[in-house]
Structure 1
Amino acid sequence: MWDESYEAGHFGPQHGRLLIRNLRGVVTGRLGDQVREVETVLIENGRIIEFGGAADAADVVVDAQGAVAIPGLFDTHTHFAIGDFNPKQNAIGFIESYMHGGVTSMMSAGEVHFPGRPMDRDGVKAVAVAAARSFELNRPGGVRIHGGSLMTGPYMEESDYAELAAMGIWLMKVGFGGFDKPKDAVPHVRWAQEAGFLVMSHSGGASSVPGIAPITVDDLLAMDPDIAGHINGGTTSLPDADVERLVKESRAALQLVQAGNLSASLKIRELAAENDGLSRIILGSDTPSGTGVMPMAIIKTIAELSSIGRIDPTEVIAYATGNAGRVLRREEGILEEGRPADLVLLQEPTGGSQDHPLKSIARGDIPGIAGVIIDGQIRAQRSRNSPAPSRLITVRSSAA
């Protein structure tokens, strides 16, 4: 019998033990790893403590019914406005739906759609602090939300970045703040990075947001951000020659988004492979935006890249998990002992042609999501958005 207290909205790790058994394997999320053939995962106080051990006493036992466990997915390009709201598509309450798409961590790409977004020094600082603080107390679906991305502009001063860092603000977005020329942002990027910020830049063609200029490869190389946002298009991709320069001449993470150009994504991945840069690829949705609300954006991107690009599913999963976690300086994203217990249980979809969820991904089919666990807490069983999993997990509580 299911213990409903696990759905009560706790944000921290669940105290006690949760055992997952009858797995068909574990995808670690580490680039280059093959599937680990283990049948059990033991979780205690929100962290993984053992793989493959004998069934042990636990407060909650999950029978995975042959599911494959992967790390919870990161969406590294999400457009919140404030809380669980985005006015671009009049979207309210979308975060939990993304969790039902296997997303357990979401990163703000800047609260650019904030209603009446201020474009002054005090206003942009206030928006960043308010957004970050709100997500400390509000985690729809239990999703880890990294909000409050500072929308920097020429009105900012060097001292502002250290001040904001002291208040816990660590994300910044370049490209929407009113600079006459993108290269004018270069000193601001340096000041922010010196204060410990992770800096993402818009890249490619002009955004749908009025007044936003294209950001070229010369701009990106001058700014040297930590993440080159949606280089496959958000919605217009960088020219192929510019992408080649970015891959070869920069250190930035290479962000591919569902809202962009799939053909460009495949070319970028090929360039990254040729230049020892696969560890730099991360995935995002770039939603809600002009493309709309897409709860399955990340898992859909994984299936598309794997099937059309003929790329091993474990590699593409690593882009959205281990790679993203490393770029965002997070412990999540890798399934190993001692790490946070954020994971997704996958089955092949009911009625599909394949007998394994990774084979389904390689064919281009979205797998069935049979369970989502964040901080060692079960946040969803059968996904309301993915195809129906071929087998449903069962959950038994020791309180039953």
Structure 2
Amino acid sequence: MSPALHVRNLGGLLAAEPAWGWRADRELLCAHGRVLAIGAGVDLALRSLERDGEPVIVLDAAGLLAVPGLIDGHVHPVAGSVSVVPPGHGWTDTYLNAGVTAMVSAGELTFPGFSAAELTPDAAARLAANSAWAFGNIAAPPRVYAGTLLAVPGLDREHFRQVAEVGGKCVKYIYYPFAGRQWAGEVAAYTTWADEFGLVTKMHAGGTSYQGHSLEADAELVSAVAPRVLAHANGGPIPMDDEALAAIVARTGCHLELILGGSLRVLRELVGLLRERGELHRITVGTDTPGGNGTMPRGPLQVVAAIAGLGQVDAATALRCGTENVARAHGIPGGALAEGQPADLLLVGPVRGSSHTTVASALEAGEIVGVGAVVSGGAVVALPGRYTPPPAALPTLETA
């Protein structure tokens, strides 16, 4: 039996209920992989665990704030923690140590031997299904929601079923040619099948990727396809022009993913436009890594800081863009601190030596914060996070 985790001596937390925002609660309790109680409900829940003979570990937060674990909505996994472009091993653990507790595949397209030119419908479905199955069997954090079906002409309903059946989450338009007169009907069928099997449609935005094989999408094409998520809307790495992006914002309701490896100017403009429209809930965060951008363990945290600092968004909402918004856009659990939610959370504070004394003021100045602890599934998996500079105070584990 895994012990419960009692996090106490908090400086507050970013809660999802009763409304998204900061709360002054000083403690929370995690058990069986989920948040069991927050604030006033912790004492009663602890007594119940004691009656049942369940062990409890205590984590003294040293005044740090609890926030949901970050979710990277755009990764390109291959096999476990191995990356091919750039070559290396252990990248998922580095992201975990920068506060990323979950990530969503945007396609396993750096797999050795992968060829966009030779990607048949059966090959696309096999690659996605095998990836979803394999990553689904990995218990070590962070959670990787792998198995993205790369859209090509000729897919049928069975291909979508095969991928969804083993845990795939997305279907992505990146190589689909959009040629001839038949594509509109086929894409409509793909949307129907994706909805039927719970797959989220994503689309590559802007100029071609480093591989040089991806489609070049404009506003008309994006509006016609109507994906749920527009990948790296600020460029992956080359964005659409401002007029096209403004048209997409106005014509569609898609989520707009922002990454560090795109244009920060466009990031600022997109955030400002969505802020003015009252639609910040449409922003999600990713890294588009490993790949041409290399690896970016702090990428999601840096994008959150850019959304707050460059986009003039309050810190709580900026953090929501990198947590709950990503989970909601992709139909995965997590991204929120609330009773019953997955116990994936961070203890954070201003970095040691920062001129700012609060998490909110640091993020709103465009600074990242230090990760003092990472909790995944109710277990402390990093103390502190090794891929951010440390906060002024560090949490400690105790025995109950």
The answer to whether TM tops 0.5 is yes
Specify the SS of the correspondent of 1:309. coil
User: Residue 9 of structure 1 aligns with which residue?
Assistant: none
Q: Superposed, which structure 2 residues align to 1:318-357 within 5 Å?
A: 318-357=320-359
Contact 1:84 / 1:92 at 8 angstroms: preserved in 2? yes
User: Residue 288 of structure 2 aligns with which residue?
Assistant: 286
| 2: CA distance, partners of 1:317 / 1:294 | 18
User: Residue 160 of structure 2 aligns with which residue?
Assistant: 161
| 1: CA distance, partners of 2:275 / 2:240 | 18
Contact 1:234 / 1:286 at 8 angstroms: preserved in 2? yes
Specify the SS of the correspondent of 2:310. helix
Deviations 1:212-260 (A, max 9, x none): 2311111111111111111110001121111111111112111111111
Seq. identity, %: 28
Corresponding position: 1:40 with 2:27: yes
Structure 1 residue 180: deviation in Å? 4.1
User: Residue 305 of structure 1 aligns with which residue?
Assistant: 307
Letter in 2 for 1:300: Q
Corresponding position: 1:63 with 2:65: no
User: Residue 79 of structure 1 aligns with which residue?
Assistant: 76
Structure 1 residue 165: deviation in Å? 2.7
Q: Could you tell me which of 107, 110, 117 is aligned with 1:110?
A: 107
TM-score norm. by structure 2 comes to 0.90
Contact 1:64 / 1:345 at 8 angstroms: preserved in 2? yes
Question: CA distance change for structure 1 residues 205 and 219 in 2, over 3 Å: closer, same or farther?
Answer: same
Structure 1 residue 74: deviation in Å? 0.6
Question: CA distance change for structure 1 residues 361 and 275 in 2, over 3 Å: closer, same or farther?
Answer: closer
Question: CA distance change for structure 1 residues 390 and 150 in 2, over 3 Å: closer, same or farther?
Answer: same
| 2: CA distance, partners of 1:331 / 1:124 | 26
| 2: CA distance, partners of 1:33 / 1:183 | 41
Structure 1 residue 330: deviation in Å? 2.6
Specify the SS of the correspondent of 2:23. coil
Question: CA distance change for structure 1 residues 32 and 315 in 2, over 3 Å: closer, same or farther?
Answer: farther
User: Residue 96 of structure 2 aligns with which residue?
Assistant: 99
Contact 1:89 / 1:292 at 8 angstroms: preserved in 2? yes
Q: Could you tell me which of 15, 26, 39 is aligned with 1:28?
A: 15
Question: CA distance change for structure 1 residues 31 and 264 in 2, over 3 Å: closer, same or farther?
Answer: farther
Task: Identify the range of structure 1 (227-236 vs 388-397) with the bigger mean alpha-carbon deviation.
Answer: 388-397
Aligned-residue RMSD, C-alpha = 2.1
User: Residue 172 of structure 1 aligns with which residue?
Assistant: 171
Contact 1:29 / 1:317 at 8 angstroms: preserved in 2? no
Letter in 1 for 2:150: M
Contact 2:17 / 2:338 at 8 angstroms: preserved in 1? no
Structure 1 residue 177: deviation in Å? 4.4
User: Residue 263 of structure 2 aligns with which residue?
Assistant: 261
Structure 1 residue 30: deviation in Å? 7.4
Aligned residues: 384
| 2: CA distance, partners of 1:356 / 1:183 | 52
Structure 2 portions without partners, runs of 5+:
none
Specify the SS of the correspondent of 2:21. coil
| 1: CA distance, partners of 2:168 / 2:269 | 34
Corresponding position: 1:227 with 2:226: no
Structure 1 residue 195: deviation in Å? 3.1
| 1: CA distance, partners of 2:327 / 2:75 | 15
Structure 1 portions without partners, runs of 5+:
1-13
| 1: CA distance, partners of 2:36 / 2:59 | 16
Structure 1 residue 170: deviation in Å? 3.0
User: Residue 393 of structure 1 aligns with which residue?
Assistant: 395
| 2: CA distance, partners of 1:59 / 1:286 | 38
| 2: CA distance, partners of 1:352 / 1:230 | 30
Q: Could you tell me which of 29, 39, 47 is aligned with 1:52?
A: 39
Q: Superposed, which structure 2 residues align to 1:158-237 within 5 Å?
A: 158-177=157-176, 180=179, 186-187=187-188, 188-237=190-239
TM-score norm. by structure 1 comes to 0.90
Corresponding position: 1:125 with 2:125: yes
| 1: CA distance, partners of 2:248 / 2:391 | 40
Deviations 1:159-201 (A, max 9, x none): 3223433343331111124554795562333433333211111
Task: Identify the range of structure 1 (92-101 vs 77-86) with the bigger mean alpha-carbon deviation.
Answer: 77-86
Specify the SS of the correspondent of 2:77. coil
Letter in 1 for 2:363: I
Specify the SS of the correspondent of 1:27. strand
User: Residue 17 of structure 1 aligns with which residue?
Assistant: 4
